[in-house]
Chains A and B, each alone.
Chain A
Amino acid sequence: MLFSAVKERQNTGIDHARFEQLMRSSNKQAYSLAYRLTGNATDAEDLVQESFLRAFRFFKKYDPSLPFSSWLYRIVTNTHIDLVRRKGRLKTTSLESNGHDGSPTWDLPDATAAADHNMTQGALEEPVQQALNAMTVEFRMAVLLADVEGLAYEEVAEIMGTSVGTVRSRIHRGRKQLRAHLVKNAPETYGGLGDEL
């Protein structure tokens, strides 16, 4: 077994055991992001498989001093864009947004507030995923990386290969796209949640 692993490494120049370990520790995280990006399990599996294959191909270029997840996220996002373009499904939806029925408040931002609203959110899981699917791909990525994965703008910029300013703009416009879609397609559920929050 050891001989075989050493021989494999000589053949490909890649530490297979190390790569496998990283794959096992990060595939669930990658799948969750892939699911939110693609909107269904089949495409999510395809995206993760293709992404890990690319990671394997370029594993020699991976800098171990940096988090593997960031490097993998970058591959997942690039692969997703490639696959979307290949399928000719790249969205160019309007950037307009509207709807102002939230209750007035000026509390400080509270990223942990969501934990108390899981029950209400269950009803919105599907509409939100549909709204994500309808978004422009770059906006969807920025919003998912920042909100669902909880990354800072700088990390999102690094993963998407763009500037922090562009990320800031994409996140803001992406959220507005998302809200416009929810207001239009799930007004009762979304409006109710807005009132509660």
Chain B
Amino acid sequence: MVKTASPPLPPFGLLVERHGAELHAYARRLVDGDADDVLQDALLKALRAYPRLEHGRHLRAWLFRVVTTCAIDHVNRRRRRREVVVDAVPEVPEPPPSDGATFDGLLDGIPEGARRALVLRYVHDLPYSQVAARLGCSPEAARQRVSMAVRSLRERLR
């Protein structure tokens, strides 16, 4: 058997120990009071998919994506519930498991600089110093752009 150089999957619990607090903080920024439920859903979803991942690279970024998707699903479910109550339509069809909202789709419309900063930070998993270097701005400005993108994301999730 040919051994690949891919890093093996670390124990899932160690990922939670390393990134749990920042994922929780991120979930709080996206969905306020429902952060516990969203994070729990996200970690269970991640756990279900975990053994099928092909390698142990970019796991932090992957977890952030799962939390983002779960936050979107959560808000969509909440919105649908609200619509049902408001419209009181009797034959509401069973909602599809996901209505196609994706991380990339969600990012459309966020100002370019902020969007790039968010992707570099959370998808490419770069520290602020490197985000700044890629964007040609100061680390503080990079931090502000990421923060602006998260605020913008949060507005869309409302």
Q: Real complex partners, A and B?
A: no
Q: Which residues of B contact A (CB under 8 A)?
A: none
